[in-house]
Amino acid sequence: AAVFGVQAQQAFPSKDKTVTIVVPFAAGGPTDRVARDLAEAMRKPLGGVSVVIDNAAGAGSSIGTAKVARANPDGYTLLLNHIAMATMPALYRKLPFNVSTDFEYLGIVNDVPMTLIGRPSLPANNYQELSTWIGQNKGKINLGHAGLGAASHLCGLLYQNALKVEMTTVAYKGTAPAITDLIGGQIDLLCDQTTNTTSQIEAKKVKAYAVTTDKRLSTPSLKDLPTLAESGLKDFQVTIWHGLYAPKGTPAEVVAKLNGALKAALKDPDFIKKQEGLGAVVAADQRVEPAEHKKFVQAEINKWGPIIKAAGTYAD
Ligand code: ASP
């Protein structure tokens, strides 16, 4: 009992333990990229403890998210997920977790624009030409995404709905394998975060057509891309945010430590530079506080639910 008492009081995080960040998408993709950079930036503020990534991918992030909801609430298993936290409740009839009640909210990490990209062999060289090509190839277009509720799924859903063109959707465990198939020509189009697409666009491995934000981006390799809104899809706007979570019931002092380490990481110049290079904007507002993070996610659930339902016929 005495030994147990000592262990129970041991300060978090213990040097001989590992903090695992569950990424609910495939390795090498945009969520994975953010998580790996964040793990590195949080290591120091967490006293040098090792922080590792566990890719529990599949079903639009619902598998990895469920894994964390069920994990021991001791601060050693965390979840990094994006806007899927707000879209899954509208897209799944039944989820094995409740976004509002099964998690401790640790803070928003960043906001990331998306890009509409195409296979390198697509004849269209700009958005105007893509529009024409889509019109000529109705019924034959394959659009990749990372599963129901993923950011790429949401963007594709809104895109098909805005065009009133139904595409054949192909689900992957993340956009890393989707982009591999896009480069190989197995699928035609993909909408994905700049954290994944910027290097492929720079290397001219894919064709880039537009950004999903309301304004053009300043990242040098993306600055000439038009917005979808200015290209005729009025009001089209999707920005992806990532947040960090722990299982519900994680002790308050552990939550406070993790939130403190996250806030320190978000001020780390190396982390900021890496993220900016990928078109992401590191969070520097109230949403880095757990209560504001939770409020924001709730507002996003309320915002996207009706939009997803309205676009429902394209929801797979
Ligand atoms: N974030 C990507 C998406 O939503 C998935 C991934 O990270 O692989 O499509």
**pLDDT tens, per residue, the chain with 316 residues:** 444 544 455 689 999 999 999 999 999 999 999 999 999 999 999 999 999 999 999 999 999 999 999 999 999 999 999 999 999 999 998 999 999 999 999 999 999 999 999 999 999 999 999 999 999 999 999 999 999 999 999 999 999 999 999 999 999 999 999 999 999 999 999 999 999 999 999 999 999 999 999 999 998 889 999 999 999 999 899 999 999 999 999 999 999 999 999 999 999 999 999 999 999 999 999 999 999 999 999 999 999 999 888 887 554 4
Alpha carbon of 193 to ligand 1 centroid (Å) = 7
ipTM: 0.94
By C-alpha distance, which of 200, 199, 144 is closest to 175?
Answer: 144
Q: Tokens 């394998």: give the residue.
A: 177
Give residue 315 CA to ligand 1 midpoint distance, Å: 17
How many angstroms does the Cα of residue 72 sit away from the middle of ligand 1? 26
pTM score: 0.93
Residue minimizing CA distance to atom 7 of ligand 1: 31
Relative to beta strand 142-145, strand 281-282 is: unpaired
Q: Assign residue 260 a region: left if phi > 0, alpha if psi is -120 to 50, beta otherwise?
A: alpha
Strand-strand pairing, 77-81 and 50-55: unpaired
- Cα dihedral 30, 135, 127, 310, rounded to 10, equals -50
Contact 63, 57 (CB under 8 A): yes
**In terms of C-beta density within 10 A (0-12 exposed, 13-18 middle, 19 or more buried), how is residue 242 classed?**
buried
Give the pocket of ligand 1 (CB within 6 Å): 25-26, 29-31, 82, 146, 150-152, 174-176, 192-193
Tell me, in angstroms, the distance from the centre of ligand 1 to residue 65's CA.
Answer: 13
